[in-house]
Amino acid sequence: MLGELPNSFIKRRLEIAPGSHSRGWKGAVFHVVDQIDVVAGAWLVLWWFVPANGALVLASVAFVFVTHQMVTAAGYALGMRKTWR
């Protein structure tokens, strides 16, 4: 959860309302960061216990990003979400 705080802090400074999305370059950047900020927070804890290297960290970022997109799209397709993002 702490991994979410920096992203939320920056969004509030840019006057992006909670739960809303920005358009343009800000929207693209925050969409990606929103998906992977949890991984950053998790690795801050895991690096004490798991010997990490760049490839493992990048693989976990890619896995979480792709999986989150698939789950979000499935939720939208099933009518469980109002938006696909």
Q: Is the pLDDT of residue 62 over 80?
A: yes
Sign of the torsion angle spanned by Cα atoms 44, 47, 49, 53: positive
Residue 11: other Cβ atoms inside 10 A: 19
C-alpha span between 32 and 36 (Å, rounded): 7
Q: Is the pLDDT of residue 10 over 90?
A: no
- Tell me if the pTM is above 0.75: no
Report whether 36 contacts 74 (CB < 8 A): no
pLDDT digits (tens, 9 = 90+) for 22-50: 778 877 887 787 777 888 888 888 888 98
Delimit the domains of the chain by residue range.
Answer: 2-77
Average pLDDT over residues 46-68: 90
Report whether 68 contacts 36 (CB < 8 A): no
The torsion defined by the Cα of 18, 24, 26 and 31, in degrees rounded to 10, comes to 70
